[in-house]
């Protein structure tokens, strides 16, 4: 919390916890199924999210880091957006 408060400096922002977190958020947890839901929602909307998809595959143990990096770096270059 101290780092967050230092980051906002004198900005008129109030930072506080209603209840301190005692576990990682569902999506950031390496043991959660949250990544699968994010990927599925993106696919359902026709949104290409290769990094998120790769993280989901890494968390699920479906790929190795070296393979994931190679797959991401071998994607064709394109402009951002639709």
pLDDT tens by residue, 22-35: 655 555 555 567 77
Residue 8 lies in a domain: no
Q: What is the pLDDT of residue 61?
A: 84
Confidence band, pLDDT 50/70/90 cuts, at residue 19? low
- The structural domain count of the chain equals 1
Confidence band, pLDDT 50/70/90 cuts, at residue 2? low
- pLDDT of 39-76, one tens digit each? 888 889 888 889 988 988 888 888 899 999 999 999 98
Domain range for 67 is: 24-82
31 Cβ neighbours under 8 A, 6+ residues apart: 59
Residue 67 lies in a domain: yes
Residue 13 lies in a domain: no
pTM of the entire structure? 0.55
Judge contact between 35 and 56, C-beta under 8 A: yes
Residue 47 lies in a domain: yes
Judge contact between 29 and 21, C-beta under 8 A: no
């Amino acid at each position: 919390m101290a780092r967050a408060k230092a980051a906002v400096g004198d900005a008129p922002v109030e930072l506080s916890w209603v209840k301190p977190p005692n576990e990682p958020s569902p999506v950031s947890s390496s043991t959660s199924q949250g990544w699968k839901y994010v990927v599925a929602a993106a696919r359902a909307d026709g949104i290409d999210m290769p990094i998120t998809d790769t993280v989901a595959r890494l968390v699920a143990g479906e790929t190795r880091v070296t393979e994931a990096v190679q797959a991401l770096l071998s994607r064709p270059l394109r402009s951002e957006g639709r």
